[in-house]
Amino acid sequence: MWRTERHRLLPVLVASLGAALPTIATAAAPPADDRHLGVATCASTTCHGQAKAARGSNIQQNEYLIWSRYDPHAGAFALLFEERSRLMAERLGLKAAHEAPECLACHAEDVPAALRGPKFQVSDGIGCEACHGGAGRWLASHYSPQATRASNVADGLAALDDPAVRAATCTGCHVGDATSRFATHRIMAAGHPRLPFELDTWTGLWCTAGGREHYVVDADYLERKPPPASIDVWTTGLVRQGRQLAGILQARYRTDRGLPDFSLFNCYSCHREMRLADWRDRGRDAGGAPGQLRFDDSSLTLLSTALAARPELQRDLQAATLGLQRTAGLDAASVARAAAALESQLASIETALARSPLRRDEAQRALAALARSAARGDYPDYASAEQAAMGLSILAATVGNCGPDSAAVRGVFASVASDTGWRPDRLAQATRTAAALCGSGPGKPVTDR
């Protein structure tokens, strides 16, 4: 299947995006209210702890080995003991990174003591239950012959095959939230990497971490939980990223005095080479006055591109995004109101896409729109260009014959290989070429990735 093929070829994407991607190792899912029993409860050789994949089983049964040896999430807590983390803690005035709540919030399953089972260990990092949900209710029953997918989910097992559930699970740390998980400008200035993210791409990076498949999409898997199309995961992730931003903005502008945290703005509003001329004109009415800081709307820009075939949704999203940007230099109440309006609009888009996902012909229009947007300069900074490259990879695979290893897609990622050498005109040329080459093929069915 194409989804399996794409995951196998994703090292191409990793090489193209460069050093920004190691942040995949530092994100966890939000803990649920269910009791967390610990990784050790899943590691038995009769469950998920075998040394090699089992034969005649509907699961591999070596998932613990794959997680512990190859999954970067397993090392998230250990990262807090490295020299870089020690220096960050020192700069931030923290006693130790591995004891700091602001670090543990995403580098471990930092669940309340009352919800920790006897085998639970914070040192496990981002374990099974961080993503699959606390196992207190489903551990003893999920392998029963009588158990069904529906019964397991009802008992608290996260339905990660649902793009909306997966998006909510992953963005909590990979994007941030309005509560404890928020990579502030201060944290980043102390040395934390930037947090680039796109749900479908990051799913692929996780699935193939260390060159090992975390699960096999075979006939049994398809019967139990058919995987969603990449384009559906992509658009759902973009919506969720926007909603996370809107939620954080509302929370911060309700409580902060003066200018809120700089991390809410586009990094490249400030961190750019002054020799570039494109900072003077974004190529479209982006809202705000010249020189004004801009909220990070890179995922919203790509979502607008994806909605090229749904003009009513695209128009309302653009209006809400523009309304938010125009408040960036105004009072806190104005920003909070604009962020609430944006979140409401995104909720409507989320409902509309869940009811009627993008078809292949609409994906083809989105691919053409992406090339036109790049030519207009709608992706004028590295963050939005990065999102454009990942989006093009998904759209090209959906509508044409171009996989992530194709020359056309490689060319797009080469144009965003470095934020220091990146230029909008190179992205424009690469996306124009890719759209022409990849958008004309017969493609594969949207439901067969």
pLDDT for 256: 56
Percent of the chain with pLDDT over 90: 60
Region 156-161: mean pLDDT is 94
Of the candidates 294, 250, 99, 107, the one whose C-alpha atom is nearest the C-alpha of residue 192 is: 107
| Range with lowest mean pLDDT among 24-28, 31-35, 93-97, 133-137 | 24-28
pLDDT for 231: 96
Given a cut of 80, whether residue 320 has pLDDT beyond it is yes
Please give the Cα distance from 367 to 395 (Å, whole number): 6
Region 137-163: mean pLDDT is 93
pLDDT for 1: 32
Given a cut of 50, whether residue 30 has pLDDT beyond it is no
Give the CB-side neighbour count of residue 214, counting CA atoms within 13 A.
Answer: 17
- Averaged confidence pLDDT in the chain: 85
Please give the Cα distance from 234 to 425 (Å, whole number): 25
Q: Check if the beta carbon of residue 346 is closer than 8 Å to that of residue 238.
A: no
Residue 259: strand, helix, or coil:
coil
Region 230-251: mean pLDDT is 95
Instruction: Tell me the pLDDT tens digit for each residue of 299-315.
Output: 999 999 999 999 999 99
Q: Check if the beta carbon of residue 432 is closer than 8 Å to that of residue 371.
A: yes
How far out from the chain centre does Cα 35 lie?
26
Of the candidates 306, 302, 433, the one whose C-alpha atom is nearest the C-alpha of residue 365 is: 306
Q: How many CB atoms lie within 10 A of CB 375?
A: 16
Please give the Cα distance from 135 to 170 (Å, whole number): 18
Q: To which H or E segment does residue 340 belong?
A: helix 332-355
Please give the Cα distance from 264 to 295 (Å, whole number): 6
Place 81 in a pLDDT band, splitting at 50, 70 and 90: very high
Please give the Cα distance from 320 to 236 (Å, whole number): 18
Given a cut of 90, whether residue 25 has pLDDT beyond it is no
Please give the Cα distance from 276 to 221 (Å, whole number): 50
Read off the DSSP letter of residue 111. Answer: -
Strand partners of residue 116: 36
Tokens of 5: 């093929």
Residue 352: strand, helix, or coil:
helix
Region 316-337: mean pLDDT is 91
pLDDT for 259: 62
Tokens of 178: 């309005």
Q: To which H or E segment does residue 1 belong?
A: none
Tokens of 69: 């040896």
Q: Which of 29-43, 80-94, 242-256 has the highest mean pLDDT?
A: 80-94
| Range with lowest mean pLDDT among 125-139, 168-182, 249-263 | 249-263
Given a cut of 50, whether residue 284 has pLDDT beyond it is no
Taking CA atoms, 182 is separated from 78, 266, 348, in Å, by 20, 15, 25
Place 80 in a pLDDT band, splitting at 50, 70 and 90: very high
| Cβ contacts of 33 within 8 Å, gap of 6 or more | 115, 134
pLDDT for 339: 95
Instruction: Tell me the pLDDT tens digit for each residue of 370-389.
Output: 999 999 988 888 899 999 99
Percent of the chain with pLDDT over 70: 85
pLDDT for 57: 83
Which one is predicted more confidently, 275 or 196? 196
Tokens of 18: 């460069």
pLDDT for 297: 92
Given a cut of 50, whether residue 246 has pLDDT beyond it is yes
pTM: 0.88
Region 79-89: mean pLDDT is 96
**33 CB burial (10 A radius; 0-12, 13-18, 19+):** exposed
For residues 55, 59, 60, 66, the Cα torsion angle rounded to the nearest 10 degrees is -170
How far out from the chain centre does Cα 436 lie?
27
How far out from the chain centre does Cα 166 lie?
9
Place 291 in a pLDDT band, splitting at 50, 70 and 90: low
Which one is predicted more confidently, 241 or 292? 241
Place 440 in a pLDDT band, splitting at 50, 70 and 90: low
Of the candidates 227, 265, 201, the one whose C-alpha atom is nearest the C-alpha of residue 1 is: 227
